[in-house]
């Protein structure tokens, strides 16, 4: 196999073998090149960066807040308001006027510090060395008042008791709540419809020195309901009409003051 046999010289056979081997190698190289070219995709010379062909996300994203100071967490973004939702009322904003005369009424007689003009009295007499004398009934004047002459039906009238020392010297009087009374009577004065002492009758000592000519007043907010002593019966609203308001302090009773409920 290694030594050529034939009529020609051995060198001829060796050249033929070399040419055949070279042709076979050339054919094999061409075959490998063709195979590689066919298998590789077109445009393989594009950049090989795996992120180069990634399409951007079309959904917009909010940028993350950046902390200006290293080590300090960023302030969170506020939550967006719901779309289409009406804004709520501001803190402290009024939601509308309160219903008139709403809620229960305290019919307790209370001091009324409304400024009042002085009343003309006789010339002042000096007090005895032992101090002011007790106020006798003829030394005081009692007056009934209404907050206004007329009130609409269903309103809560303000009624007042005003006591004034009309003597010429200071005197002392116990203005105990149990001694006071403000009452509403029928227009003809025949029927008592309500009294401040029927449902509330606080007894409290209130010893005062009454200065001559200086009124001292007490007020009550009447619910507009009738009452009976002890407040045991059901209370009904007093109908519209004309009424009388009287005040009492001990045995002293005022003249009636008119009150109109319309």
Q: How confident is the model at residue 258 (pLDDT cuts 50, 70, 90)?
A: very high
pLDDT at 66 > cutoff 60: no
Query: pLDDT higher for 190 or 24?
Result: 190
pLDDT at 95 > cutoff 80: no
Question: CA–CA separation, 135 vs 131, rounded Å?
Answer: 12
Report DSSP letters for the chain, one per residue.
--S--SSS-HHHHHHHHHHHHHHHHHHHHHHHHHHHHHHSPTTTTS---TTTTPPPP-S--PPPP--SSTTSPPPPPPPPPPTTPPPPPPTT---SPPPTT-S------EEE---------SPP-PPPTT-PEE--GGGEEEEEEESSSEE-TT---EEEEEEEE-SSS-EEEE--GGGEEEEEEETTS--EEEEHHHH-------EEEEPBT--EEEEEE--SB---TTS-SPP-BPPSEEEEEEEEETTEEPBPEEEEE-
Is residue 161 within 8 A of residue 182, CB to CB? The reply is yes
Q: Where does the chain hold its CATH 2.60.40.2360 domain(s)?
A: 110-261
Residues facing 218 on adjacent strands: 111, 161
What pLDDT shows up at residue 137? Answer: 97
What pLDDT shows up at residue 121? Answer: 86
What pLDDT shows up at residue 79? Answer: 40
pLDDT at 80 > cutoff 70: no
pLDDT at 144 > cutoff 90: yes
Residues 9-26 have a mean pLDDT of 75
Q: Which stretch of 43-57, 150-164, 179-193 has the lowest confidence by average pLDDT?
A: 43-57
Residues 97-113 have a mean pLDDT of 66
Cβ atoms < 10 Å from Cβ of 50: 7
What pLDDT shows up at residue 19? Answer: 80
Residue range 197-226, pLDDT digits in tens: 999 877 778 899 999 999 999 999 999 999
pTM of the model: 0.59
Q: How confident is the model at residue 12 (pLDDT cuts 50, 70, 90)?
A: low
pLDDT at 7 > cutoff 80: no
Tell me if the domain spanning 110-261 has CATH number 2.60.40.2360: yes
């Amino acid at each position: 196999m290694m030594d050529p046999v034939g009529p020609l010289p051995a060198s001829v056979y060796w050249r033929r073998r070399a040419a055949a081997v070279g042709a076979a190698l050339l054919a094999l190289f061409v075959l490998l090149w063709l195979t590689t070219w066919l298998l590789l995709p077109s445009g393989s010379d594009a950049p090989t960066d795996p992120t180069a062909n990634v399409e951007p996300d079309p959904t917009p994203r909010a940028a993350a807040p950046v902390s200006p100071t290293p080590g300090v967490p960023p302030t969170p973004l506020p939550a967006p308001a719901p779309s289409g939702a009406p804004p709520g009322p501001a803190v402290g904003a009024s939601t509308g006027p309160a219903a008139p005369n709403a809620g229960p009424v305290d019919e307790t007689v209370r001091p009324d510090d409304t400024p009042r003009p002085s009343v003309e009295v006789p010339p002042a007499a000096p007090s005895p060395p032992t101090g002011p004398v007790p106020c006798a009934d003829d030394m005081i004047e009692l007056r009934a008042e209404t907050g206004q002459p007329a009130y609409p039906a269903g309103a809560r009238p303000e009624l007042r008791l005003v006591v004034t020392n009309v003597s010429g010297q200071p005197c002392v009087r116990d203005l105990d709540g149990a001694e006071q009374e403000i009452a509403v009577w029928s227009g003809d004065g025949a029927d008592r419809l309500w009294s401040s002492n029927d449902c509330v009758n606080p007894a409290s000592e209130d010893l005062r020195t009454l200065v001559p000519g200086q009124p001292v007043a007490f007020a009550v907010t009447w619910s507009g309901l009738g009452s009976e002593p002890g407040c045991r019966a059901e209370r009904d609203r007093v109908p519209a009409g004309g009424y009388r308001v009287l005040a009492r302090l001990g045995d002293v009773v005022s003249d009636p003051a008119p009150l109109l409920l319309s």
